[in-house]
Amino acid sequence: MEGEKLSEMYDMHLAGALAFGDYKNPVNAGLMSRAFLYTKNFNGIIFSFPMEYSLALHGLINEGEQAVKLGLKGIAELAEDIIVIRDIYLAEYNETKIHFTNISSKTSIKNIKQAKKNNIQVSAQIAAHLLYLNDSVLNEFDTNYKVIPPLRNEETRKQFIKAILEGTIDCICSDHQPQDIESKKIEFDHAEFGMATMENTFSLARTATMKEVELTKLIDCSTTNP
Protein backbone atom coordinates (compact mmCIF):
# COMPACT_ATOMS: atom_id res chain seq x y z
CA MET A 1 0.00 0.00 0.00
CA GLU A 2 2.91 2.35 -0.69
CA GLY A 3 2.29 2.51 -4.43
CA GLU A 4 5.72 1.14 -5.32
CA LYS A 5 5.21 -2.43 -6.53
CA LEU A 6 2.55 -4.98 -7.42
CA SER A 7 1.29 -7.45 -4.87
CA GLU A 8 1.16 -11.21 -5.54
CA MET A 9 -2.11 -10.80 -7.40
CA TYR A 10 -2.00 -14.12 -9.27
CA ASP A 11 -1.50 -16.10 -6.05
CA MET A 12 -4.39 -14.20 -4.49
CA HIS A 13 -6.46 -14.90 -7.60
CA LEU A 14 -5.82 -18.63 -7.18
CA ALA A 15 -7.03 -18.28 -3.59
CA GLY A 16 -10.28 -16.68 -4.77
CA ALA A 17 -9.61 -12.94 -5.05
CA LEU A 18 -11.57 -11.28 -7.86
CA ALA A 19 -10.50 -7.64 -7.74
CA PHE A 20 -7.48 -5.62 -6.66
CA GLY A 21 -6.90 -2.05 -5.55
CA ASP A 22 -5.00 0.09 -3.07
CA TYR A 23 -8.04 1.39 -1.18
CA LYS A 24 -7.73 5.20 -0.96
CA ASN A 25 -4.02 5.41 -1.67
CA PRO A 26 -2.69 7.08 -4.83
CA VAL A 27 -1.30 4.82 -7.56
CA ASN A 28 0.99 6.27 -10.23
CA ALA A 29 0.21 5.75 -13.91
CA GLY A 30 3.05 3.31 -14.56
CA LEU A 31 2.12 0.98 -11.71
CA MET A 32 -1.56 1.18 -12.65
CA SER A 33 -0.78 0.25 -16.26
CA ARG A 34 1.29 -2.76 -15.15
CA ALA A 35 -1.52 -3.86 -12.84
CA PHE A 36 -3.93 -3.77 -15.79
CA LEU A 37 -1.61 -5.94 -17.86
CA TYR A 38 -0.98 -8.40 -15.02
CA THR A 39 -4.66 -8.97 -14.14
CA LYS A 40 -5.64 -9.18 -17.80
CA ASN A 41 -4.05 -12.64 -17.92
CA PHE A 42 -6.66 -14.07 -15.52
CA ASN A 43 -9.59 -11.68 -16.14
CA GLY A 44 -9.15 -9.83 -12.86
CA ILE A 45 -10.54 -6.38 -12.14
CA ILE A 46 -8.60 -3.32 -11.00
CA PHE A 47 -10.29 -0.92 -8.57
CA SER A 48 -9.25 2.72 -8.84
CA PHE A 49 -9.93 5.31 -6.16
CA PRO A 50 -9.90 8.47 -8.29
CA MET A 51 -8.10 11.16 -6.32
CA GLU A 52 -5.02 13.12 -7.34
CA TYR A 53 -3.90 14.13 -3.87
CA SER A 54 -1.44 16.72 -5.15
CA LEU A 55 -4.44 18.70 -6.42
CA ALA A 56 -6.38 18.15 -3.20
CA LEU A 57 -3.49 19.02 -0.91
CA HIS A 58 -4.75 19.84 2.60
CA GLY A 59 -8.32 20.06 1.30
CA LEU A 60 -11.04 19.39 3.86
CA ILE A 61 -14.42 19.74 2.11
CA ASN A 62 -15.80 20.31 -1.38
CA GLU A 63 -14.30 23.29 -3.19
CA GLY A 64 -17.09 25.81 -3.64
CA GLU A 65 -19.32 28.36 -1.97
CA GLN A 66 -19.55 26.45 1.31
CA ALA A 67 -15.76 26.14 1.63
CA VAL A 68 -15.39 29.90 1.12
CA LYS A 69 -18.18 30.61 3.62
CA LEU A 70 -16.57 28.42 6.29
CA GLY A 71 -12.99 29.41 5.53
CA LEU A 72 -11.95 25.81 4.85
CA LYS A 73 -9.64 24.54 2.13
CA GLY A 74 -11.51 22.84 -0.68
CA ILE A 75 -11.10 19.63 -2.65
CA ALA A 76 -11.90 20.33 -6.29
CA GLU A 77 -13.73 17.85 -8.49
CA LEU A 78 -10.73 18.25 -10.81
CA ALA A 79 -8.67 16.12 -8.38
CA GLU A 80 -11.00 13.24 -9.22
CA ASP A 81 -11.57 14.02 -12.89
CA ILE A 82 -7.92 13.85 -13.85
CA ILE A 83 -7.52 10.31 -12.45
CA VAL A 84 -10.77 9.07 -13.98
CA ILE A 85 -9.76 10.19 -17.47
CA ARG A 86 -6.21 8.83 -16.96
CA ASP A 87 -7.39 5.39 -15.91
CA ILE A 88 -10.02 5.22 -18.65
CA TYR A 89 -7.23 5.81 -21.17
CA LEU A 90 -5.01 3.20 -19.50
CA ALA A 91 -7.82 0.62 -19.46
CA GLU A 92 -8.55 1.29 -23.12
CA TYR A 93 -4.86 1.08 -24.05
CA ASN A 94 -4.41 -2.21 -22.19
CA GLU A 95 -7.80 -3.55 -23.35
CA THR A 96 -8.89 -4.50 -19.86
CA LYS A 97 -11.37 -3.64 -17.08
CA ILE A 98 -11.47 -0.72 -14.68
CA HIS A 99 -13.83 -0.12 -11.75
CA PHE A 100 -14.00 3.31 -10.13
CA THR A 101 -14.80 3.51 -6.43
CA ASN A 102 -16.54 6.48 -4.80
CA ILE A 103 -17.34 8.68 -7.79
CA SER A 104 -18.22 12.23 -6.73
CA SER A 105 -17.85 14.50 -9.76
CA LYS A 106 -20.11 15.67 -12.59
CA THR A 107 -17.26 15.49 -15.11
CA SER A 108 -16.32 12.00 -13.97
CA ILE A 109 -19.88 10.87 -14.66
CA LYS A 110 -19.72 12.44 -18.12
CA ASN A 111 -16.41 10.72 -18.94
CA ILE A 112 -17.53 7.32 -17.64
CA LYS A 113 -20.75 7.57 -19.65
CA GLN A 114 -18.78 8.31 -22.80
CA ALA A 115 -16.32 5.50 -22.09
CA LYS A 116 -19.20 3.03 -21.85
CA LYS A 117 -20.52 4.26 -25.19
CA ASN A 118 -17.04 3.61 -26.60
CA ASN A 119 -17.25 0.00 -25.30
CA ILE A 120 -14.45 0.47 -22.77
CA GLN A 121 -14.86 -1.99 -19.89
CA VAL A 122 -15.58 0.55 -17.18
CA SER A 123 -17.87 0.45 -14.14
CA ALA A 124 -18.36 2.76 -11.17
CA GLN A 125 -19.85 3.00 -7.71
CA ILE A 126 -21.00 5.75 -5.37
CA ALA A 127 -21.36 5.93 -1.60
CA ALA A 128 -24.93 6.13 -0.31
CA HIS A 129 -24.23 9.18 1.84
CA LEU A 130 -23.19 11.13 -1.27
CA LEU A 131 -26.65 10.46 -2.70
CA TYR A 132 -28.37 11.69 0.46
CA LEU A 133 -26.23 14.58 1.77
CA ASN A 134 -24.74 17.74 0.31
CA ASP A 135 -22.08 20.06 1.69
CA SER A 136 -24.61 22.39 3.34
CA VAL A 137 -24.67 20.06 6.39
CA LEU A 138 -21.16 21.27 7.25
CA ASN A 139 -22.44 24.61 8.56
CA GLU A 140 -21.76 23.57 12.15
CA PHE A 141 -18.28 22.15 11.41
CA ASP A 142 -19.60 18.68 12.28
CA THR A 143 -16.66 16.32 11.79
CA ASN A 144 -19.04 13.39 11.28
CA TYR A 145 -19.55 14.78 7.79
CA LYS A 146 -15.85 15.01 6.99
CA VAL A 147 -15.44 12.30 4.37
CA ILE A 148 -13.27 11.54 1.35
CA PRO A 149 -14.38 12.09 -1.34
CA PRO A 150 -16.16 15.09 0.17
CA LEU A 151 -19.86 15.82 0.16
CA ARG A 152 -20.55 17.86 -2.97
CA ASN A 153 -23.10 20.62 -3.61
CA GLU A 154 -26.80 20.03 -4.26
CA GLU A 155 -26.52 20.39 -8.03
CA THR A 156 -23.89 17.65 -8.18
CA ARG A 157 -25.84 15.41 -5.78
CA LYS A 158 -28.78 15.45 -8.17
CA GLN A 159 -26.45 14.45 -11.01
CA PHE A 160 -25.50 11.33 -9.03
CA ILE A 161 -29.13 10.18 -8.97
CA LYS A 162 -29.49 10.84 -12.69
CA ALA A 163 -26.35 8.78 -13.31
CA ILE A 164 -27.89 5.84 -11.46
CA LEU A 165 -31.04 6.09 -13.56
CA GLU A 166 -28.98 6.13 -16.77
CA GLY A 167 -26.75 3.24 -15.67
CA THR A 168 -23.57 5.32 -15.65
CA ILE A 169 -23.10 4.51 -11.97
CA ASP A 170 -23.51 0.75 -11.55
CA CYS A 171 -23.25 0.18 -7.79
CA ILE A 172 -24.11 1.80 -4.47
CA CYS A 173 -21.70 1.12 -1.61
CA SER A 174 -21.45 1.98 2.08
CA ASP A 175 -17.90 3.41 2.07
CA HIS A 176 -18.03 2.34 5.72
CA GLN A 177 -15.01 3.98 7.37
CA PRO A 178 -15.64 4.42 11.10
CA GLN A 179 -13.11 6.32 13.18
CA ASP A 180 -12.17 6.33 16.85
CA ILE A 181 -14.04 8.96 18.85
CA GLU A 182 -10.70 10.66 19.55
CA SER A 183 -10.28 11.11 15.79
CA LYS A 184 -13.63 12.86 15.38
CA LYS A 185 -14.27 14.90 18.53
CA ILE A 186 -11.50 17.37 17.74
CA GLU A 187 -11.03 20.47 15.59
CA PHE A 188 -12.29 20.03 12.02
CA ASP A 189 -8.83 20.53 10.51
CA HIS A 190 -7.38 17.65 12.52
CA ALA A 191 -10.29 15.20 12.37
CA GLU A 192 -9.94 12.04 10.28
CA PHE A 193 -11.96 11.47 7.13
CA GLY A 194 -14.71 8.85 7.27
CA MET A 195 -18.06 7.95 8.78
CA ALA A 196 -19.81 4.80 9.98
CA THR A 197 -22.47 3.98 7.39
CA MET A 198 -22.86 0.20 7.21
CA GLU A 199 -26.10 0.12 9.24
CA ASN A 200 -27.98 2.71 7.17
CA THR A 201 -26.53 2.41 3.64
CA PHE A 202 -29.69 1.14 1.99
CA SER A 203 -32.04 3.44 3.91
CA LEU A 204 -29.94 6.47 2.91
CA ALA A 205 -29.97 5.44 -0.75
CA ARG A 206 -33.69 4.65 -0.70
CA THR A 207 -34.64 7.93 0.99
CA ALA A 208 -32.46 9.96 -1.39
CA THR A 209 -33.77 8.37 -4.59
CA MET A 210 -37.34 7.37 -3.72
CA LYS A 211 -38.95 9.85 -6.13
CA GLU A 212 -36.69 9.02 -9.09
CA VAL A 213 -35.38 5.45 -8.83
CA GLU A 214 -37.53 2.32 -8.74
CA LEU A 215 -36.95 0.02 -5.79
CA THR A 216 -35.95 -2.90 -8.01
CA LYS A 217 -33.22 -0.84 -9.67
CA LEU A 218 -31.93 0.33 -6.29
CA ILE A 219 -31.77 -3.27 -5.11
CA ASP A 220 -29.85 -4.21 -8.27
CA CYS A 221 -27.34 -1.42 -7.60
CA SER A 222 -26.83 -2.75 -4.07
CA THR A 223 -26.73 -6.50 -4.80
CA THR A 224 -26.58 -8.06 -8.27
CA ASN A 225 -24.70 -5.25 -10.04
CA PRO A 226 -21.74 -5.45 -7.66
226 residues of the chain, pLDDT tens digit each: 888 899 999 999 999 999 999 999 889 999 999 999 999 999 999 999 999 999 988 999 999 999 999 999 999 999 999 999 999 999 999 999 999 999 999 999 999 999 999 999 999 999 999 999 999 999 999 999 999 999 999 999 999 999 999 999 999 999 999 999 999 999 999 999 999 999 999 999 999 999 999 999 999 999 999 9
Decide: residue 66, CB within 10 A, 0-12 exposed, 13-18 middle, 19+ buried: buried
Give SS3 for 184: coil
Q: Which residues are designated catalytic?
A: 175
Q: What is the model's pTM?
A: 0.94
- Among 161, 15, 163, 144, which Cα is nearest to 84's? 163
